[in-house]
Amino acid sequence: MRYGPILAAAMLGGMASAAAAQTELSLWYHGAGSANAEEALVNQLVEEFNASQSDYTVVIETFPQGAYNDAVGAAALAGKLPDILDVDGPVMPNWAWAGYMQPLGIDEAKLDGFLPGPIGRWNGEVYSVGLWDAAVAMTTRRSTLEDNGIRVPTLDAPWSLEEFNGALATLKASGKFEYPLDLGMAWTGEWYPYAFSPLLQSFGGDIVDRSTYQTAEGVLNGDEAIAFGEWWQSLFEMGYAPGTSQDAADRDTGLLNGKYAIAWNGNWAALPVVEAFGDDALFLPAPDFGNGSTIGAASWQFGVSGTSEHPDGARAFIEFALQDRWFTAFSDGTGLIPVTAAAAADTQNYKPGGALEVFYGLSEAQALVRPVTPGYLVQAKVFEKALADIANGADVADTLDAAVDEINEDIEANNGYGH
Amino acid sequence: MALVTPDNHGLRLWTRYSVLVLVAVIFIFPLLFMAMSSLKPDQQLLSDTNSLRAFLPVGDISMQNYTDAFERAPIGVFVVNSVLITGATVLFTLFVCSLAAFSFVFLEWSGRGLIFSILLATLIIPYESIFIPLLLMVSQLPWIGTGGLEWGWLNTYRVQIIPFIADGLSIFLFVQYFKDLPRELIEASRVEGASWWTIYRRVVMPLSGPVIATAAILKFLFMYNQYLWPLMVVQAEEIRPVMVGLGYFTDQLNVPWGEVMAYLTVITIPVLAFYLSLQRVFIASVASTGVKG
């Protein structure tokens, strides 16, 4: 009996030392306060990883999205970055260039079969991986198109510029809608480059010259970009789309209550459309304005911080997350697109015959990531301002020239951003 | 010299009250809009902004936004943190800055004029411009805690309090006020054998209610509205203040405006309560020192 306390103490000591042997990994996540299930799923992912092995314990800190990037910047300055970072896809090159992140170093065979958007590459190396992606589509009703004699486009045969303009004119002339097209101008920020730069790319322009990433000259103010700008401005001048003063509530419900005929919107807003219109709901590919039909790609992803002292542990966590069951769980919980076909087949919405199956196909066929350059953060804001100004009546050529100057000056000021 | 007749006296009163009511309305409408909007669903909230309905509790009224806001963010934790951080900073500021001002006004020491001038010069430097060097500094500072000596103040309450205790504006306010106190009181106390500490504690501070209220309110507002600094130095949710918490209500595309208004209404309550409790002395101080706040 007298050995009992000693034995118990020894056992407790052993347990304590086992616990102490675990290396703590910090993870920062951007979605504090998010209304959907994403935060709960990230917490579940952390819990299951911690329970699955005895080497590491991941501790999560959540940040409100609006403050997240600034918090990471401040922490990097103070040398206090966490081990695992959550990063928005188009922001990753900037963080990698600034040394906030290091190459992931995972076996790329694990990424076979992934959609292109969720893989974050910079300078030939994978820095981040996402568990989901998002896609946008021309959202409308089959009956709206058929009643107005408008062809239903397909991935193989999307609308051409003439067809699309004709469809808008027809819908406007029908007098049934306040506007034939809702572009979502009530939304600001990243929505502009994410949703609208693919339209510019389809015209043949771009935000920056992707062959060198050293200039926007010729791509953001060339003939194709000016043609895009003039078309863009005409949408508002001709009353085809509500402009920058659009009511945010109309953005959410305008299509559902018949105010708009077609909405350029994402898969995250698709389920209410399906619920409202059932089989009549249509999610159509982006029009082809002459240089292919593309949509934006890349959402939030996980990566390893540049100062992590435990990159092996951080990598182990990310590899643990790269399982189809997690892709399925996140998709079912948040409505976003799973990153592999196998995971999609198990989801509620993206399985064959699922309500949102079409979005997986759109992501697979049309996704084009935003410019992969550290300068994107500045370029996105310049692009947003230029498009808003043009929508509000600014001279197209002058506005695009000014945008090019601003982007080029930033690239020069940053010595080419390491390209 | 014009005669004041009952007629033009009434007209003057009417004009004066009309102007006061107009100013009051201008100041109170934003608060009214916030409180009324917090009771409405988003769609109604946005459509009401085109009319006076925005300031009235009409339409589909409920407390749902409050329920949703409390579910979305740990509002209670944020409010307690802000009150704690703000309260501690205000108390320490009043003590440290009044002592500094006492020294500038009543004690004779060489260089005080120069140092006071330097102190005044700091008033023109925006806090935001020193945040980066301050961040680098506090991230390396030592502290003796429960676990012994530790390095770095990030992610703590103290990093949200200590850097803001001493400030030029508060010292300036105390100096201006102390200068107007009757010198005879101080001299009489010295003749009676009172120490400087006793004079500060028993004579000067009891006579300084208005300036204490003014400095406290200005500091309270500055600290309670802090956003950038806590965003940079605090990562843990459990010590996050209210303004950073506002970020819980925005994402990349959507802003739940009703919940935002509910959140703002809740976090405005401590500010209003603090101001109203000190309103009378604050106004007296503004009248006597000319502080425009």
B90 Cβ partners below 8 Å, 6+ apart?
Answer: B216, B219, B220, B223
The dihedral region occupied by A29, where left means phi > 0, alpha psi between -120 and 50, and beta the remainder, is beta
Of B73, B139, B254, the CB nearest to A80: B139
A153 and A238 together in one domain? yes
Q: Do B252 and A190 touch (CB under 8 A)?
A: yes
**CB burial of residue A414 (10 Å; 0-12, 13-18, 19+):** middle
Please tell me the distance from the alpha carbon of residue B176 to that of residue B240, in angstroms, as a whole number: 35
| Shortest Cα distance, chain A CAs vs residue B250, angstroms | 6
Predicted pLDDT of residue B146 = 84
B72: contact with A, CB 8 A cutoff: yes
The answer to whether residue A142 sits within a structural domain is yes
Predicted pLDDT of residue B49 = 82
Are A269 and A283 in contact, with CB atoms under 8 Å apart?
Answer: no
Q: Is A394 helix (H, G, I), strand (E, B) or coil?
A: coil
A316 and A266 together in one domain? no
Chain B's closest residue to A59, CA to CA, is B236
pLDDT in tens, B130-174: 999 999 999 999 999 888 898 999 999 999 999 999 999 999 999
Which of A344, A368, A392 lies at the terminal end of a domain, its last residue?
Answer: A368
The answer to whether residue A3 sits within a structural domain is no
The answer to whether residue A308 sits within a structural domain is yes
Q: What's the CATH code of the domain at A58?
A: 3.40.190.10
pLDDT in tens, B53-106: 999 999 999 999 999 999 999 999 999 999 999 999 999 999 999 999 999 999
Predicted pLDDT of residue B230 = 96
**CA-wise closest residue to B227 among B133, B134, B127, B142:** B127
A404 and A326 together in one domain? no
A285 and A154 together in one domain? yes
Q: The tokens of B82 are what?
A: 């802000």
The answer to whether residue A412 sits within a structural domain is yes
Based on the structure, what is the number of domains in chain A?
2
Are B109 and B251 in contact, with CB atoms under 8 Å apart?
Answer: no
Contacts of A249 in chain B (CB under 8 A): 42-43, 46-47
A91 and A191 together in one domain? no
Of B154, B231, B252, the CB nearest to A78: B154
The answer to whether residue A78 sits within a structural domain is yes
A204-210 long-range contacts, CB within 8 A, separation 24+: A204/A289, A204/A290, A204/A291, A206/A371, A207/A370, A207/A371, A207/A376, A207/A379, A207/A380, A207/A383, A207/A407, A208/A371, A208/A373, A208/A375, A208/A376, A208/A379, A208/A407, A208/A411, A210/A371, A210/A372
Contacts of A189 in chain B (CB under 8 A): 252-253
B110: contact with A, CB 8 A cutoff: no
The answer to whether residue A170 sits within a structural domain is yes
A83 and A187 together in one domain? no
Q: Do B132 and A77 touch (CB under 8 A)?
A: yes
Contacts of A33 in chain B (CB under 8 A): 72-73, 247-249
**Helices of type H across A256-356:** 270-277, 311-321, 324-334, 341-345
Predicted pLDDT of residue A381 = 96
Preferred mutation among B235, B244, B255, B263 to probe A, highest tally of A CBs within 10 A: B235
Please tell me the distance from the alpha carbon of residue A205 to that of residue A228, in angstroms, as a whole number: 8
Please tell me the distance from the alpha carbon of residue B254 to that of residue A187, in angstroms, as a whole number: 7
pLDDT in tens, B205-232: 999 998 999 999 999 999 999 999 999 9
Predicted pLDDT of residue A260 = 98
Q: Do B232 and A252 touch (CB under 8 A)?
A: no
Of A65, A71, A249, the CB nearest to B43: A249
Chain B's closest residue to A60, CA to CA, is B236
Predicted pLDDT of residue A148 = 97
Contacts of A253 in chain B (CB under 8 A): 43
* Ranges in chain A, pLDDT < 50: 1-7, 10-19
Instruction: Delineate the domains of chain B, giving CATH numbers in brackets.
Output: 1-62 (no CATH), 66-289 (1.10.3720.10)
Contacts of B136 in chain A (CB under 8 A): 77-78
| Shortest Cα distance, chain A CAs vs residue B43, angstroms | 5
Q: Is the pLDDT of residue B284 over 80?
A: no
Q: Is the pLDDT of residue B3 over 70?
A: no
Predicted pLDDT of residue B6 = 64
Predicted pLDDT of residue B8 = 78
Predicted pLDDT of residue A365 = 93
Q: Do B42 and A249 touch (CB under 8 A)?
A: yes
**CA-wise closest residue to A400 among A413, A386, A388:** A386
Predicted pLDDT of residue A14 = 46
Predicted pLDDT of residue B127 = 83
Q: Do A64 and B245 touch (CB under 8 A)?
A: yes
A251 and A328 together in one domain? no
B199 DSSP assignment: I
Predicted pLDDT of residue B4 = 59
| Side chain identity at residue A128, one-letter code | S
Which of A329, A345, A368 lies at the terminal end of a domain, its last residue?
Answer: A368
Mean pLDDT of B245-269: 89
A173 and A263 together in one domain? yes
| Shortest Cα distance, chain A CAs vs residue B56, angstroms | 20
Containing domain of residue A203, as a range? 136-296+375-418
The answer to whether residue A163 sits within a structural domain is yes
Chain B's closest residue to A187, CA to CA, is B253
| Shortest Cα distance, chain B CAs vs residue A64, angstroms | 5
The answer to whether residue A9 sits within a structural domain is no
A410 Cβ partners below 8 Å, 6+ apart?
Answer: A375, A378, A379, A382
A164 and A198 together in one domain? yes
A117 and A212 together in one domain? no
Predicted pLDDT of residue A12 = 47
A355 and A402 together in one domain? no
Contacts of B236 in chain A (CB under 8 A): 61
At B265, the pLDDT band (50, 70, 90 cuts) reads: very high
Contacts of B47 in chain A (CB under 8 A): 247, 249
Q: The tokens of A261 are what?
A: 């005929």
A237 and A318 together in one domain? no
